[in-house]
Structure 1
Amino acid sequence: MADPTLDPASNEPPVPDSSGTATYRLGVSRPDLPITDLPSPEEVFGVRKIGPRELVKYALGPSMIALGISIGSGEWLLGPQAVGQFGFEGIGWIIVVSAVLQTLYNIECSRYVMATGEAPVVGWGRVPPGWILWVPVSVFIVIFSFIVGGWAASAGQGLYALVHGEVPAKGAEEPRIWAIALLVVVFLIAAGARRVSRTLELANWVMIGAILVGLVLVCLFVVPFGLWWDGIKGFVTPAAPPDGITATQIGGLVGFTALASGLNWYVMGHYRDKGYGMGHRTGFIAGLRGERVKLLASGVTFPDDARNRAMWRRWYRLLLTDMWAIFFGGAMLGMLLPTILMARAVEITGTKPTQENVPTFVAAALDAEYGRWLFYLALILGVLILFTTQLGIFEAMVRVTTDAAHATSPRLRGLLEGDPRRFYYPFMLVLLVIIGIILHFALPVSLVQWSANMSNLGALIYPFMLMYLNSRLPRPARPRLWHHVILLLNFLFFGFFFVNFVADFIGDPLITF
């Protein structure tokens, strides 16, 4: 029987580093991982026992940040737009497939984070040929995909309508000013935090709770049972895509259903900051109000022994609970409610939403049918939904860049004096200015569709990188064969839509309906 302490790449036992500490070789071009014990959940969260109350209060939450992003882009914009134009049949089941594949993909990304304490963007540097290619490429893909700011522009439209009591005119400048103001609010939230990840988590608990309760109440009041049933049936009934919809539109929908398909990894670093597994050993990004915390430039891992195998299983169960109960369950509810509300708005108006008016289409329809109070309630919900996306995406772009720069540049770490906040906050301000300029150049929903299809690009790259990394983790953390099959399905499903997007952009789409 093979020795479980052998290094999977070299088939040799771990070698002590210069300090005498045993290390674990993982991939290329990055430092070996020091070996130490996994902490217990009780140690990380400061409780005597993880019961149901402690589970909700302390242990769950990183997926809430991901859910906050997902509900704004796919669930409030692209999903309702598609259903409003084409109905539920042939669209709903695609949404469910996307959400299931993305949840499983998220679990594989988070597996690496828990086993090493490294954010995924740092882990990509261990994949051949090494960090000098994969780290800057990964940062570029994330920035390029999300910097267009469609989520910010859509939030600005909703806030304009909330302030003025009317839908903004086409091309109006003031909604863009509101969008920039909301970006400033995101900066202030991050600046006022003691621990950035925890503050985002708590903000999303409050906002998403209010959003889902509000949507349920509105839907119960205005949506007839028949539309509820059509929406649920559409989720579970496979059917061909409806006539007239393009594969590019479907690609945008599947790319931003749940989160961001192949680029979901850019949010999974929050498990490190939450302290899941070895993330507790590597540190986190503190807020300006928090104490300075050392963030390790490289990760650590754990030995393969009985105690750590048992502890890994406990952490993995927490991850599964967080992902399936909060992320998947919330994404499904977050997609069902806005889409049936949009279907009702189409019934009321006899018209279909367009790219120009989808952020405020439902509010305008409810205003005409039920009065001003529902107009304002729908707008408040819409602004909250889009703001949770704005909060998560904006911060995540800054976080990914900070993690990458801090991990790969000893010179920068010296300039920062070990405090990543000195890069994090100035870069957030620079990004705020750039997004404020870019969002002037296209319609909000077309910007979101661009981002969603660019997210599918990640599905052509990162599933294979995850296979490489996760198969080399300490034996208790390694995935089973079926996990690799799931990653291949992500590659095929989301990758197809990106290839179609490119073909459509330069000529003709691969398929039409």
Structure 2
Amino acid sequence: MTLDDSDAPTVEDGAADAGEADAESEANRDSEKRVYASEAEARQYRGTWYLPLPYDQLKEAPESDDYPERGDGGAFRLTDLPRVPRVRHILGPSAIMLGASLGSGETLFWPVLVAQHGWAVYWAFVVGVFTQFFINTELQRWTVATGESIFRSMARIHRGWPTLFLLFGFASLGWPGWAAGAAQVATTALGLDGVSVGAFGLTLPSWKLLAIGLMLLIWLSYQISSVMYNAVEAFQVGLLFIATGTAVVLVLYAGSLGELTNLSAAVVNVGRLPEGMDIAVFLGGLAFAGAGGYLNLSQSLWVREKGYGMGNYQGRVKNPLIGDDPEPIERDGFTFRPTELNVRRWRGWWRAVQLEHFFTFVVGLLFVATILMSVSSKYAPGTTTDAIGMWLTEIAPALGGVGALLVFVVLFVALFTTEYAIVESFVRNSADAMYEVFGRDAGWDLSQIFWRLLTVFTAWGVLIILLFTTPFEGQEPFFFLVVGAALSGVMMWPYTALTLVINTTRLPEHLQPGWLRVVAMWWASGFYGYFSVLLVGQTLATWTGETFRTTAGVVGSGPGGYVLWTIFFLVQTYAVVRSIQGKRRAAGTVDAADGRDRLFS
């Protein structure tokens, strides 16, 4: 086939094609600029970024399928979603979460579980980490989409929900076990174990005096920045680098990486638990395959403070002693019209949220915890002591010299950074919950609530450290940790189910989780619910005999145990059915959602 003159391309045609290509390329660049923030703009997120808007002048979102459901609350205000920064600019919230995990799952629960039961239990750690990845990112969804905290979303359903989780949070985190543990490590390293010191007219064991000092140090650190979050992020990231770097040096010095060849045992034992496994410790391990419990709820508040998505338009919690004028946390947040541009920005934000959490939290946890498990597996196989005792009385003496010093540094920094995160998480969550339930209507200031609660919670920790002695003398720290961890695991069941229902029934189609994430949340709710029922049944059985006994296979449980299993199945069924109904009802209702259910949406 040949071309005649009319078909042959001309110079003018080539120029026209090139011109069209250049125009299309320029249009694409302009489109990208409208979606993604410039380098200068993105750098604003490296601290925290608050962009105030004339809230009262913004239009209210109508009650339609294009916008989140109001529930028991007012209308959202309409504005555009901010441009999307690069992931490197928004690092921070997940680093704090990783720091919160250092002294729990990474250095305590999972190293001691692997030492006691071998690598056959490692599968549960991996499952727990990835399960928490989905939970934590879903906890962020409402906040990125509306600027409201997870507690505000719960209050839109019923004010009892934030109150319930506040009480759960105090029961699980109100015991300064990590500060006490860090103090025990330090006094052992300094040869002060068992030594009493006179102070303020009292004679106190040295670990108590140091633990009190650590609690006060946490309180003082908040006074160096006008924005409370900035102080937390700076301290936590610094401590995280110290702990991680020292852990790597410790593992290389201990020569324990060869233990990782036993990881194949985890693959062949997936779904199995060793005989004699303590359910309370195991559930605590599942909760602390990450931060766990009340701590996870902080993800919502940290991303609001950082300025993720619509949180960019909400204020930050300021230090009332040194801060400027308070910044408003609007009762009813923001939402955006589902235009093509806003939906592209939303997908960009959601991708950034997932990448930030995956590469900081998931990869960091898997790396640090696994190499520390190799040390405990090599130097304390079959240990019968608790986690802190294992490191101090078995591993440190076995390594001796430099190795022992590295153990002390890793353990002290890990426990201290976790206590820091616990104080931060409890105070920030509880202040927000109190504010949304009754403080706002009473005219209270959120920053004042935060500061006063920080002071009261610090004083409470000091009081508990002073009072708690016998009958657990010498075992206080880990006793606190097991109780708190188990309660954290139980707490994760209801809020995982509730978060799933909120995100699938109250968000419009383009903001809802995709089916993959819905299934992952079904799994997460069932996972924590199952082990929570086992733990609750086991605990009640010690008080009531066989009445509330629960068995792993359900069949053979006591009468009360069957009641507990029935509650579990009803809650799980409700969460599954409601999420399916929400997804189906929303399907095809928003034009910009283009009817596709994206894999990681």
TM-score (norm 2): 0.73
Cα distance in 2, alignment partners of residues 168 and 83 from structure 1: 32
Matches within 5 A, 1:141-156: 141-156=168-183
Pair 1:436–1:138, CA change in 2 (3 A) = same
CA contact (8 A) 1:85 1:353 kept: yes
Cα distance in 2, alignment partners of residues 406 and 451 from structure 1: 25
Q: Say if 2:334 is the partner of 1:300.
A: yes
Listed one character per residue, the Cα deviations across residues 131-153 of structure 1 (whole Å, up to 9, x for unaligned) are: 2x112112111122110222222
The equivalent residue for 2:546 is none
Pair 1:238–1:32, CA change in 2 (3 A) = farther
Query: SS of 1:352's equivalent?
Result: coil
The equivalent residue for 1:214 is 246
Cα distance in 2, alignment partners of residues 184 and 202 from structure 1: 18
Cα distance in 2, alignment partners of residues 167 and 238 from structure 1: 42
Q: Say if 2:467 is the partner of 1:434.
A: no
Q: In the alignment, residue 422 of structure 1 is paired with which amino acid?
A: Q
Q: CA deviation at 1:405?
A: 2.5
Unpaired runs of 5+ in structure 2? 1-54, 64-68, 197-203, 543-548, 554-601
Matches within 5 A, 1:132-171: 133-164=160-191
The equivalent residue for 1:118 is 148
The equivalent residue for 1:73 is 104
TM-score (norm 1): 0.85
Q: Which has the higher contact order (CA 8 A, sep 6+)?
A: 1
Cα distance in 1, alignment partners of residues 433 and 406 from structure 2: 41
Pair 1:60–1:413, CA change in 2 (3 A) = farther
The equivalent residue for 1:469 is 502
Unpaired runs of 5+ in structure 1? 1-16, 43-49
Residue of 170, 184, 198 corresponding to 2:216: 184
Residue of 311, 323, 328 corresponding to 2:345: 311
Cα distance in 1, alignment partners of residues 525 and 156 from structure 2: 20
Q: CA deviation at 1:278?
A: 0.6
The equivalent residue for 1:23 is 61
Q: In the alignment, residue 132 of structure 2 is paired with which amino acid?
A: Q
Q: CA deviation at 1:295?
A: 2.9
Cα distance in 1, alignment partners of residues 82 and 440 from structure 2: 31
Cα distance in 2, alignment partners of residues 487 and 391 from structure 1: 29
Listed one character per residue, the Cα deviations across residues 288-331 of structure 1 (whole Å, up to 9, x for unaligned) are: 54433413142222221111101111111111111111101111
The equivalent residue for 2:77 is 34
Q: In the alignment, residue 154 of structure 1 is paired with which amino acid?
A: G
The equivalent residue for 2:450 is 424
The equivalent residue for 1:95 is 125
Cα distance in 1, alignment partners of residues 84 and 58 from structure 2: 28
Q: In the alignment, residue 338 of structure 1 is paired with which amino acid?
A: L
Q: In the alignment, residue 329 of structure 1 is paired with which amino acid?
A: V
Listed one character per residue, the Cα deviations across residues 431-489 of structure 1 (whole Å, up to 9, x for unaligned) are: 11222233426522122121121112233312232233212224321112232221111
Cα distance in 2, alignment partners of residues 437 and 271 from structure 1: 32
Q: In the alignment, residue 320 of structure 1 is paired with which amino acid?
A: Q
Q: CA deviation at 1:512?
A: 7.3
Q: Say if 2:539 is the partner of 1:505.
A: yes
The equivalent residue for 1:397 is 426
Matches within 5 A, 1:475-486: 475-486=509-520
Q: Say if 2:61 is the partner of 1:61.
A: no
Pair 1:387–1:24, CA change in 2 (3 A) = farther
Q: In the alignment, residue 455 of structure 2 is paired with which amino acid?
A: L
Percent identity between the two aligned chains: 23
Query: SS of 1:118's equivalent?
Result: coil
Residue of 473, 478, 484 corresponding to 1:445: 478
Q: In the alignment, residue 200 of structure 1 is paired with which amino acid?
A: V
Query: SS of 2:513's equivalent?
Result: coil
Cα distance in 1, alignment partners of residues 424 and 306 from structure 2: 16
Q: CA deviation at 1:424?
A: 1.3
Pair 1:238–1:289, CA change in 2 (3 A) = farther
The equivalent residue for 1:203 is 235
Listed one character per residue, the Cα deviations across residues 378-431 of structure 1 (whole Å, up to 9, x for unaligned) are: 111111111111111111111012112333436666343xxx222211211111
Q: In the alignment, residue 467 of structure 1 is paired with which amino acid?
A: L
CA contact (8 A) 1:191 1:425 kept: no
Listed one character per residue, the Cα deviations across residues 234-288 of structure 1 (whole Å, up to 9, x for unaligned) are: 5544342222212222111111111215862234310000000011011111245
Pair 1:413–1:233, CA change in 2 (3 A) = farther
Pair 1:126–1:175, CA change in 2 (3 A) = same
Please tell me the root mean square deviation across aligned C-alpha atoms, in Å.
Answer: 2.6
Cα distance in 1, alignment partners of residues 502 and 417 from structure 2: 31
Q: Say if 2:253 is the partner of 1:253.
A: no
Structure showing greater Rg = 2
CA contact (8 A) 1:398 1:428 kept: yes
Listed one character per residue, the Cα deviations across residues 99-151 of structure 1 (whole Å, up to 9, x for unaligned) are: 11110111111111101111212221112xx22x1121121111221102222
